[in-house]
Structure 1
Amino acid sequence: MIFYEPQARDRELLPHDPFKALVAPRPIGWISTVDGEGVPNLAPYSFFNAACDTPPILMFSSAGMKHSATHAHATREFVWNLPTWELREAMNATSAELAGGESEFAHAGLSLAPSRIVGVPRVAEAPVALECRVTQTLSLSDLAGADVDRHVVFGQVVGVHIDERFVDARGQVDTAAMQPIARCGYRDEYAVVRELFRIARPA
């Protein structure tokens, strides 16, 4: 069993920080926002998840106040779009550093669809989109209280879009049929959900 303290990792044994490979797979925060002029932005975030179910709240964490975090914090709105196996190349394309004013939607060949409640467009091709209003933005600090320039945006879901093709006869969403993708360990590693299993909870 290997043990190390993060700041004292043996870089000969583990030259690449394994943290992201250990906390994996992680859902991808494919976040659409708009700036103050209404110009849309779309980017994938590696640190993303559901934070609460009642009320439904999502969170994504930004290294620095990048466009998505800045826009969401300012407008108090964002949309999460579900990236799937079919959309893997488009999702990856939206991670590119584009010039100001250049659209990630256009760059990735994606269509904008209007949301119902928030003023942020969603990815038309995504089988799921969750419209969110920001509840809070939290700036993280380390054990010493020092700012680490990482910012977590929390948003309460106020609108849900689901492609009816993925709702089965029981009225349940067929997650495996959508083939969602997730982030794994290192820079170019991902996973795809194609199979589920069930296990009964203890009585």
Structure 2
Amino acid sequence: MNTRRAFSTDDPDVNPYRLLTALVVPRPIAWVSSLGADGVANLAPHSFFTVASNRPPVVQFTSVGAKDTLRNVRATGEFVVNLASEPQMDAVNQSSAPYGADVDEAAALGIAMEPSDRVAPPRVAGAPAAIECVLHSTVEVGSCTLVLGRVVSFSISEDALVDGVPTMAALRPLSRLGGSEWGLPPEVVSLERPLEPPSG
């Protein structure tokens, strides 16, 4: 018989963040580039990231605490989600360091940037894909803030597209796991979605 241990979130010795990030896995990484009101650029990874709506297209990431990205997005109303790809793992990790608000992480780490198509914040030149967004809304949830961005443009490397759709083999996305663990591109399997419930 499987024996379980209960961790009550009311227990002061229980760290919900450590358990959540170890259980909600793998988590895709939004490598967000933004600009401050003063024009200083910021580049930081956020591993609480997902799709919020398909019509209109909206993505969301969560700022755990009041970070530079959140301040910039609120000030300018724009940001870019760069896809964090396996060849960039070290750069993505290094950009998570607690740099000052007056520091451009990309410049400090030698990460090449390029102009975006529809928004002012630049995108990561080496990222296989970038999602350009304008701020839809923010939602306060405890000590965190959900940032919802309406997608205005997708910029995808031609090398990553097959029949107009990006492939996992080309994107090679990174993910975050628990603690200091990272997920590398997963094994991919294909299953057709059922058109009706199974009989019997």
Q: TM-score, normalised by structure 1?
A: 0.87
**Among 162, 165, 181, which residue is 1:189 paired with?**
181
Match of 2:165 in 1: 172
Give, in angstroms, the shift of residue 100 of structure 1.
Answer: 3.9
Give, in angstroms, the shift of residue 191 of structure 1.
Answer: 0.4
**Correspondence 1:76-91 to 2 at 5 A:** 76-91=77-92
Distance 1:15 1:162 in 2: 36
8 Å contact from structure 1 (residues 132, 156) kept in 2: yes
Task: Give the letter for the 2:7 counterpart.
Answer: Y
8 Å contact from structure 2 (residues 137, 147) kept in 1: yes
Match of 1:144 in 2: none
Contiguous gaps of at least 5 residues in structure 2: 196-200
Match of 1:143 in 2: none
Contiguous gaps of at least 5 residues in structure 1: 141-147
Q: Secondary structure at the match of 2:193?
A: coil
**Correspondence 1:7-26 to 2 at 5 A:** 7-8=10-11, 17-26=18-27
8 Å contact from structure 2 (residues 61, 147) kept in 1: yes
Match of 1:55 in 2: 56
Task: Give the letter for the 1:197 counterpart.
Answer: V
Report the count of equivalent residues. Answer: 192
**Correspondence 1:61-140 to 2 at 5 A:** 61-140=62-141
**Among 167, 170, 190, which residue is 1:198 paired with?**
190
Q: TM-score, normalised by structure 2?
A: 0.89
8 Å contact from structure 2 (residues 68, 101) kept in 1: no
Distance 1:85 1:44 in 2: 14
8 Å contact from structure 1 (residues 91, 108) kept in 2: no
Q: Percent identity?
A: 36
Task: Give the letter for the 2:188 counterpart.
Answer: L
Give, in angstroms, the shift of residue 38 of structure 1.
Answer: 1.6
Give, in angstroms, the shift of residue 194 of structure 1.
Answer: 4.2
> Taking structure 1 as reference, are residues 54 and 116 closer, same or farther at Cα in structure 2, changes over 3 Å only?
same
